[in-house]
Amino acid sequence: MSALQTFMLVVEHDKEEAKRIADSVAQDVESKKATLIEIVQQLGEYINDEDPILRGKAVSFLTAIQVLTTFFGDRIEDGGAVAGLEYLQGLDRFTKELAVETAEALFGNFQDLQSRSQSQRFQVYQLLNELMSKHRSALRDMGDDSLLGTVDLMTGEKDPRNLMIVFSILKVVMMEWDVTNHAELLFDSVYNYFPITFRPPPNDPYGITAQDLKGRLQECISASRHFAPHAIPSLLDKMDSTSPNVKKDALNCLIACINSYDPDTVSRYSITLWEVLKFEILNAQEEILSESSLEALSAIAKRLSEGVIETSQDLPLAQYLHPITKECNEQLQEPQHKQAKPAQQILSSLSSASAVAFTLIVQTVVAPIFTIYQEADGIAKQRALLDTLAVLFQSALHVFGQWTTRGGEIPQENPLLEFKDQFSETLGQALMGSAKGEISFRVTAMKGFLRLSTLRNFFQDNEIGLFVQYLDEILLKEESVGRDDLKKEAISTLAEISKHKPRLIMDITFPAFVATLPDQDDGTNTAYLSTLDTLAQISVERDIFETLFRRLFSKLSVLLQKEQPGSAAYPRAILMTLLYVMQQRDMKADPNVELYFDKVVLGLCRSVAESASGQSKNQILNDPTILDTLGRLCNLLTRAVSVQKQAHVAQNVYTLFSTGDFVPVPFSQGTTVDQERTIIISTYLLAALSKDCGNLIPYATSNMSGLLGDLVQRSVSDSAEPATHLALLRHLALLVNKFLSKEDLNISEKLFDSLISSEEQSFTPAKIRTIFWLAKALVLRIAPTTTHILTSLLGLLSSSDPKTSSSTARGFAILLGDDDVLSAKNGATIRLLSKQRVFTTVIPLISSRIREVNIAGNGQSTPVESSDHIKPAHLTALSGILSTISTTLVLPELPTLLPLLLQSLDLQTSDSVAVRAATLDTLGVIIRDNGVAVIDKCGHVHSLVQRLLKTTESRPGTGVVNPPRLRVDSLKCIYLLATKQAPVESAPNARIPPSISPLLPEKAQVLRSLRAVLDDPKRDVRKAAVDARSAWLRGVDDAPEEDD
């Protein structure tokens, strides 16, 4: 039976005995027969017992232990005692007195703490930290004793792990103790560590960064306003440091102090801070320092604005801003000089700090700017001043909000209102009254005007309306100048205004623009294109779009009724305008979408059907480009409407909602070209339908084989127009990819086999395209026969008919190429791994086939049959695939691939331009993303450089065809080689030993060859050559550059 249990038994009736037991336990502990922890742990089961009487007894035992605590307080130097105390203080019954006693013991006995091991020190800090969090008031009541004790304890601490905990203990003391008498001591105790230069060792298991320490230190320095007299001068001294890092830390610390000290304290130092920080801004050496200084200045203004409602010159804020605005005004006297820019930045960040700061600044700055503006001797100077005003307007937007800003109304009056008429007049004069060619000046004025127009509660509607009229005038009446920057800016300005004041756009701009639209395009004037362009870009807002739709749709309806409608380009442009705007908007969320659907999809499709059967007044809706644009529009709208409406579309996908004589395309005999062309619309409608509507499609309800067979037959026959043919192919692919069920896949696979396995050696291009589109549909959904399909396609490349072979080669770009119709947006089945599947299947086969051809060519033993086309065909097919997949897939195959790419570059004929361009693209991306190292690993640097250099040569008349685009692309690759020598990402610990660049052996020849290219007849080529050459001059060296 343990002493404890005995104690519990006797305590009731024999106090003497109980005391004796307690004393003996105490002696046991003293003589180290038992540890404090063991006793308390034993006690645990009683202390936590549910019976209150039993608990009381246990506690009374602990009371006896108190004696012990005191006693061992003296022996606290023993590590076990510290751990024990830490355990004890966590118990409920550890009293305030005990906490004080423990703390006193800590402070009294550890004068030599810093000579102990890190872990022992850590334990002591841990105990103190625990006391701080659980018995803070007890420690606080100790006052100076605990304050000084804590400082003494940690003085000299250097270990980052310990410092993390020390800083957080000190922060508590700094924030909650009365520090008035010892502010400097406390401040010094932490400021000694500034600046933190700690660098964590590699593989640091504790994961403490310099930034962690900096953060905690910063919190300490900014913890109490009493530190200000010490902290701010010391930190400002650090701004003289030559190390940008020290300055950066000091600035961050200052910002923290500004945000944490009280406004009165901040005010006391505000002007001193300005005096020092302005140098960092006006003579900015490092952008980050200038930015942080601006942040600090702005933070001061924010703090000094707290609680201020009335603007007055007696405010501390006003006194702070006074020297600042004075300095800025001086710098702005010469607005084109270098230091005007930083002055602008200062005004910008201070004026956006608060409404009061904004008012004070505007009151002192705007009038002088106007004075300089009036006296300015040149437009460049005036422009610089308008720039400064625009900066203030931006701050106004920040402080007062835009028309569309919700809430946050500022009670103060906007000080800019005083100058409203002056602004309006000056900006209007600059925009419309200056020489038409002063583009950058006028653009600046326009930007300023826009800001004021969107500023909440500033201009009246008629004043903004005047501005809108100016913009209309620029767009409608002025000739284009240069790059048309002014007009582009005017359009985006109108678009911005349309968000805030849509009514003005509808009332002013719309009538003006629509009035200039002709009734028809008679071929003399295509100005309507730019008008429609502008209308499209300003009509994204809902109300405006509705107006646009009504106006344009009625224009279109009139055109469709005309006997002589003029060029089809005009109705097409109208449709494209509607399409463009609908693409910018979320049509699903538009309440009018059903109206648009009825008018366009139902109405116009019906008209298409009429037109196809020759019952319309004109031929507009027979034009393939019109049908294509209309189809896209129908597609977009059908996707946006309900399932019920979609079902209706599904039933009418071929009849196009017609009720008359129109004959739908599938299974019809002897259709006219006009009728057949309606498949374009049908295809776009089909693409929009959700998969659930599949069983509503006519002819496809039970078995699709008839419909598919009919489409294949139409696609294979070479008679269709190009646009119709493409639509047929897409239609076929959509059905197979999206609507054909898994069980019925064999129908399409049979079709594919029957197409490709015919006896003849030569295929028509139409047939080859049909084969590829069918293959595309199947491969994208990774049909079970994918590998078979791909090998069959590759087989066609080796056809003895060169035409079949080369058409097939070009077809490979179709296979994975993005398509507007067979797209994920239209719900096509595009499996994620389909690209990878195609790539990994095809590349080895192409590679081995080319090797075969090469060997056969070298061997000379085989009769040289007419197989010269086979190698280029394979390389073309390869480039088709490469152009449609991402380089991450390419990289693992690079060793196989690189020799093929190099052989592609060897093709020198004009047919091979596209292949070589695609190859150079791929190489460029590989080099850009992975650096030279990957090519060096394959051992092909020399061969690559040789071929690239060869492609840069321009030698007309030698039979070598390197068009300018190829020369530029190849120079870009050469440039990339030199700029991407270092591995893009190397593991931090795997430092690669400085090695000789693999490019070095090539350097002399590259520089020599490029010198000749500097005289290329084409400017773009010369530019690329200059860049490449200087990159090699600069970058290719014996040893890689050391990073600082």
Choose one: 117-125, 640-648, 836-844, 1015-1023; the region binding another protein (CB under 8 A).
Answer: 1015-1023
Closest residue by Cα to residue 122 from 71, 69, 82, 64:
82
Tell me which of 57, 135, 171, 341 binds another protein, using CB under 8 A. 341
Amino acid letter, residue 682:
S
**Which of the ranges 370-378, 515-523, 994-1002, 1024-1032 carries the binding residues for another protein, by CB under 8 A?**
1024-1032
Query: Which position among 164, 856, 1018, 1037 is part of the footprint of another protein (CB under 8 A)?
Result: 1018
Q: Is position 440 an interface residue for another protein (rule: CB under 8 A)? A: yes
Interface with another protein, residue 60, by CB under 8 A? no
Residues 977-996 that bind another protein (CB under 8 A): none
- Among 533, 546, 674, 953, indicate the residue that binds another protein (CB under 8 A): 533
716 belongs to the binding site for another protein (CB under 8 A) = no
Rg (CA), the chain: 41
Residue 687 binds another protein, judged by CB under 8 A: no
Residue closest to 923 by CA, chosen among 1000, 880, 978, 977:
977
Give the C-alpha separation, 171 to 367, whole Å.
Answer: 48
529 sits near another protein (criterion: CB under 8 A): yes
Residue 232's contacts (CB-CB under 8 Å, 6 or more residues apart) are 254, 257, 269, 272, 273
Decide if residue 530 touches another protein (CB under 8 A). Answer: yes
Please report, for residues 232, 257, 275, 300, 448, the alpha-carbon distance to residue 270 in angstroms, rounded to integers and kept in the order given.
10, 12, 9, 7, 32
Question: Minimum CB separation from another protein for residue 250, in Å?
Answer: 23
By CB under 8 A, residue 1029 contacts another protein: yes
d(CA 678, CA 620) in angstroms, rounded, equals 13
Contacting residue, 162, 293, 351, 577, with another protein by CB under 8 A: 577
Span 106-135, contacts to another protein by CB under 8 A: none
Q: With binding defined as CB under 8 A, does residue 723 bind another protein?
A: yes
- Residue choice 29, 232, 726, 878 for contact with another protein (CB under 8 A): 726
CB of 1008 to another protein, least distance (A): 11
From 277, 318, 720, 813, residue interacting with another protein (rule: CB under 8 A): 813
CB of 623 to another protein, least distance (A): 11
Q: Output the smallest distance, CB 791 to another protein, in A.
A: 23
**Residue 781 beta carbon to another protein: minimum distance, rounded to whole angstroms:** 22
Q: How many CA atoms lie within 13 Å of 759's alpha carbon, on the beta-carbon side?
A: 0
Phi, psi of 310 (to 5 degrees): -90, 140
Q: Does 718 bind another protein (CB under 8 A)?
A: no
Cβ–Cβ < 8 Å for 1005, 957: no
φ, ψ at 271 (rounded to 5°): -75, -35
Q: How far is the CB of 194 from another protein (least distance, A)?
A: 29
Instruction: Kindly indicate which of the ranges 239-247, 600-608, 973-981, 1023-1031 contains the residues binding another protein, using the contact rule CB under 8 A.
Output: 1023-1031
Site string for another protein, 466-495 (x = CB under 8 A): ----------------xx------------
Q: Are the C-beta atoms of residues 611 and 621 closer than 8 Å to each other?
A: yes
Q: Using the rule CB under 8 A, is 673 a contact of another protein?
A: no
CA 628 to chain centre: 34
Does position 334 interact with another protein (CB under 8 A)? The reply is yes
3-state SS, one letter per residue, for 445-511? HHHHHHHHHHECCCCCHHHHHHHHHHHHHHHHHCCCCCCCHHHHHHHHHHHHHHHHCHHHHHHHHHH
Binding flag, residue 442, another protein (CB under 8 A): no
Binding-residue pattern over the window 615 to 634 for another protein, x denoting contact by CB under 8 A: ---------xx--xx--x--
797 binds another protein (CB under 8 A): no
**670 scored as a contact of another protein (CB under 8 A):** no
Contact call for residue 1022 and another protein (CB under 8 A)? yes
Q: How far is the CB of 182 from another protein (least distance, A)?
A: 45
- Phi first, then psi, for residue 844 (nearest 5°) are -60, -35
Cα–Cα distance measured from residue 204 to residue 202, given in angstroms and rounded to the nearest whole number = 5
Site string for another protein, 909-948 (x = CB under 8 A): ----xx----------------------------------
- Which residues have a Cβ under 8 Å from the Cβ of 184 and sit 6 or more positions away? 230
**What gap in Å lies between CA 866 and CA 911, rounded to an integer?**
18
Which residue type, as a one-letter code, is found at position 77? E
Number of residues counted as binding another protein (CB under 8 A) = 59
Binding residue (CB under 8 A) for another protein from 98, 235, 391, 579: 579
Please say which residue, 658 or 883, places its beta carbon nearer to another protein.
883
Residue 384 sits in the site that holds another protein (CB under 8 A): yes
Structure tokens at 332: 């702005």
Shortest approach of another protein to residue 1029 CB, angstroms? Answer: 6
d(CA 166, CA 53): 42
Task: Assess 722 for contact with another protein (CB under 8 A).
Answer: yes
Both tokens assigned to 878 = 């390869």
Task: Count Cα atoms within 13 angstroms, Cβ side, for 646.
Answer: 20
- Please give the Cα distance from 316 to 300 (Å, whole number): 11
Measure the CA–CA gap between 202 and 162, rounded to whole angstroms.
Answer: 19
Identify whether the C-beta of residue 450 lies closer than 8 Å to the C-beta of residue 497: yes
Question: What three-state secondary structure class fits 736?
Answer: helix
User: Which residues in 630-659 contact another protein (CB under 8 A)?
Assistant: 632
The SS3 call for residue 566 is strand
Distance, CA of 877 to CA of 813 (rounded, Å): 7
Burial of 101 (0-12, 13-18, 19+ CB in 10 A): middle
Interface with another protein, residue 956, by CB under 8 A: yes
What is the smallest separation between the CB atom of 915 and another protein, expressed in angstroms?
11
455 phi and psi, to 5 degrees? -70, 130
Minimum gap (Å) between residue 333 Cβ and another protein: 11
Cα separation values, 765 from 144, 710, 715, 913, Å: 95, 19, 10, 21
Q: Which of 47-55, 429-437, 655-663, 1009-1017 is the region at the interface with another protein (rule: CB under 8 A)?
A: 1009-1017
| Contact status: 1014 vs another protein (CB under 8 A) | yes
For another protein, give the closer residue by CB, 537 or 997: 537
Which residues of this chain interact with another protein, rule CB under 8 A? 283, 334, 336-339, 341, 380, 383-384, 440, 443, 482-483, 529-530, 532-533, 536-537, 569, 573, 576-577, 579-580, 624-625, 628-629, 632, 722-723, 726, 765, 769, 810, 813-814, 820, 913-914, 956, 963-964, 1011-1012, 1014-1015, 1017-1019, 1022, 1026-1027, 1029-1030, 1033-1034
